[in-house]
Chain A
Amino acid sequence: MSKVYIALQDNDESRYIVEAIEESNPDSTVIHQPAMIRIEREGRLVIERAVVEEKMGRDWDVQELHINLITLGGNVDEDDDQFVLEWKQ
């Protein structure tokens, strides 16, 4: 199984998103690089709106993710409640 990955700008909003990713995907790897944070996981990674909202303490629209997104690898599926990255092989 290959790794999916996502990279976010290293800023105050992303900090909560990364916390939420770690909570929703227990065995993901978080890599800090200058000005960015990269998160990898085997096969599949999910960002759940409810978990991000809990971390941020405010409403959060899944599409707000685009503001801090740098890059990703994997097939994307996005709806109102979650953002999924996945390799299907």
Chain B
Amino acid sequence: MAAKKLNIKDKYRLLTRDLDWDFSYEDRKQAFPYEEFEGIKITDWNKWEDPFRLTMDSYWKYQAEKEKKLYAIFDAFSQNNGHLNVVDSRYVNALKLFLTGVSPLEYQAYQGFAHVGRQFGGVGARVACQMQSLDELRHVQTQIHAMSHYNKFFDGFQEFSHMHDRVWYLSVPRSFFCDARSAGPFEFMVAIGFSFEYVLTNLLFVPFMSGAAHNGDMATVTFGFSAQSDEARHMTLGLEVIKFLLEQHEDNVPIVQKWIDKWFWRGTRLLTIVAMMMDYMLPNKVMSWKEAWEVYFEEAGGALFKDLARYGIRMPKYAETIEKEKEHISHQAWWTFYTHGHAAGFHTWIPSDKELDWLSAQYPDTFDKYYRPLWELAKEQEAKGERFYTSGLPQLCQTCQIPMLFTEMDNPNQNSMRDSVFEDERYHFCSDGCKDIFDEEPEKYVQSWLPVHQIFQGNCGGPGVEDVLSDYYKMNVGVDNMDIKGSPDEKRWNEWKGIA
């Protein structure tokens, strides 16, 4: 007689829940030593729900299928010199930022989920986290594979992992994940599983990847959407964790709310880089950062928080500031990179006139008033042969590590600065959000490895900035950095395309 095919629910029970065991002669608390110190109370792990009920056998089957599809496209892409189909050589700089700033986060996500996939006391949560851990490892691998093709033809891809651990602006994404991974397992899940995966990665992987397609980059849209196909599972895991914690004990509610406040603020700061990539680094525009923010944060996030209101959870703190920031941050960030273009690992440029007009149309309330005049000035200087680079090193926020580039949202002519004193030392912040996070856990954030401080302390070689860039960061100075105009990237591109 043929064996009866199990339905999803029975299969999930047998191949997941049934893999657990009781602790008869060992102390359960010693097996899961991190489960209690954050103050979270779990009364019954059996209440854990996994709506996808994915078991390991199906997991391998579907992941293998995704990989086969993906690598077939990578092969076609490189066999057909797919890099020649991207819109222009400026576009590739968004990929350099992606590989140095984002792909290593996939690796950190892999490490983080491997850790919590061991440390949670409930078998359902452990298995889901282990699958996510494997997904994240797949993401970093496929991204490196995809970019290795660009590395053959463009500058700035060669030392992505070395740079990620050292370069001044890459400490922003790096420290974000280090902060999450050095927290307890439940805070990690609220930080990465919920805040980052459920709301914020959409902004990185959906409109930006759709933008990659729109800019002729078949490899990137393919790895992006292949990664995203795992993301729906990650998002659902994040949401289930939150609901589970809130249902387990009412004492968990204020703790979870505090983490939501912290990590949504940390996340919106981190996404400043994505805002700039969308508005300035994609030559063919799909949607503005502001519009993407409205669809994926305000609308989707709004629905989510309405759903969570029944547990006593409210919108993240600073939601009003965050709403105003969508009009400003991409412009403030790209201006900062433009003026520090000699110290970046990629090229910068003045937007074309057509792009300036697009920005004016997308940001009617802010662009012409505050930002267009800066670019008109930069154009004049460039025309005189005096392309502007700033000479100083920026002061960094102690929490998010972003240079102090943000303004007050109600007065965009005024730089935003906050400070706190801890054990007789004064620390500086870009915002109320970052100051509050520091004030909550100063012992943690005084240890931040701030790249500019490290340079001044002589820990990054030197003595000059150029020595730091070339010897400590391993940038090819004069090749990887500076304006796209006159760069070797641009020169090669023009030769390939027969542009005089």
List B contacts of A78 (CB < 8 A). 8, 51-53
Q: Which B residues are within 8 Å of any A CB, using their own CB? A: 7-9, 51-54, 58, 62, 65-66, 69, 202, 205-206, 209-211, 213-214, 221, 225, 228-233, 235-236, 239, 286, 299-300, 302-304, 306-307, 309-310
Number of A-B contacts (CB under 8 A): 98
The answer to whether A67 and B62 have CB atoms under 8 Å apart is yes
List A contacts of B229 (CB < 8 A). 9, 66-70
A35-B221, A79-B9, A80-B8 known; A71 vs B307 contact (CB < 8 Å):
no
CB contact between B300 and one of A5, A64, A77 (< 8 Å): that residue? A5
By beta carbon, the residue of chain B nearest A35 is B213
The answer to whether A88 and B307 have CB atoms under 8 Å apart is yes
CB contact between B235 and one of A64, A68, A72 (< 8 Å): that residue? A72
Given contact pairs A35-B225, A67-B66, A72-B232, a sample of 5 additional A-B residue pairs in the complex whose CB atoms are under 8 Å apart: A2-B302, A34-B211, A70-B232, A73-B304, A89-B307
List B contacts of A68 (CB < 8 A). 229
User: A88 CA to B58 CA in the complex, in Å?
Assistant: 29
List B contacts of A7 (CB < 8 A). 206
The answer to whether B307 and A87 have CB atoms under 8 Å apart is yes
CB contact between B303 and one of A2, A34, A70 (< 8 Å): that residue? A2
CB contact between A63 and one of B58, B228, B230, B310 (< 8 Å): that residue? B58
24 A-B pairs in the complex with CB atoms less than 8 angstroms apart: A3-B303, A33-B210, A34-B214, A34-B221, A64-B62, A66-B52, A67-B69, A69-B232, A70-B205, A70-B206, A70-B225, A70-B229, A70-B231, A71-B205, A72-B232, A72-B235, A74-B303, A76-B236, A78-B52, A79-B8, A80-B7, A80-B8, A87-B306, A89-B309
Which parts of A9-23 form the interface with B (CB within 8 Å)? Answer: 9
List A contacts of B211 (CB < 8 A). 34
List B contacts of A76 (CB < 8 A). 51-52, 236
List A contacts of B69 (CB < 8 A). 67
Interface residues of chain B: helix, strand, loop or mixed (majority): helix
A29 at the interface (CB under 8 A from B): no
List A contacts of B7 (CB < 8 A). 79-80
The answer to whether A34 and B8 have CB atoms under 8 Å apart is no
A34-B210, A34-B214, A87-B306 known; A71 vs B202 contact (CB < 8 Å):
yes
The answer to whether B52 and A70 have CB atoms under 8 Å apart is no
The answer to whether A75 and B307 have CB atoms under 8 Å apart is yes
Q: Which A residues are within 8 Å of any B CB, using their own CB? A: 2-5, 7, 9, 33-36, 62-64, 66-80, 87-89
User: A36 CA to B287 CA in the complex, in Å?
Assistant: 14
User: A69 CA to B202 CA in the complex, in Å?
Assistant: 13
The answer to whether A66 and B232 have CB atoms under 8 Å apart is yes
User: A75 CA to B65 CA in the complex, in Å?
Assistant: 26
List B contacts of A4 (CB < 8 A). 303
User: A74 CA to B9 CA in the complex, in Å?
Assistant: 21
CB contact between B233 and one of A34, A66, A77 (< 8 Å): that residue? A66
List A contacts of B235 (CB < 8 A). 71-72
User: A69 CA to B232 CA in the complex, in Å?
Assistant: 7
The answer to whether A71 and B231 have CB atoms under 8 Å apart is yes
CB contact between A66 and one of B9, B62, B302 (< 8 Å): that residue? B62
The answer to whether A2 and B306 have CB atoms under 8 Å apart is yes
Separation in Å of the B139 CB from the closest CB of chain A? 14
List A contacts of B232 (CB < 8 A). 66, 69-72
The answer to whether A77 and B51 have CB atoms under 8 Å apart is yes
User: A14 CA to B286 CA in the complex, in Å?
Assistant: 21
By beta carbon, the residue of chain B nearest A88 is B307
By beta carbon, the residue of chain A nearest B206 is A71
List B contacts of A75 (CB < 8 A). 51, 239, 307
Separation in Å of the A15 CB from the closest CB of chain B? 16
List B contacts of A64 (CB < 8 A). 62
User: A66 CA to B310 CA in the complex, in Å?
Assistant: 29
Separation in Å of the B85 CB from the closest CB of chain A? 14
The answer to whether A36 and B206 have CB atoms under 8 Å apart is yes
User: A7 CA to B235 CA in the complex, in Å?
Assistant: 13
Separation in Å of the B277 CB from the closest CB of chain A? 16
The answer to whether A89 and B210 have CB atoms under 8 Å apart is no
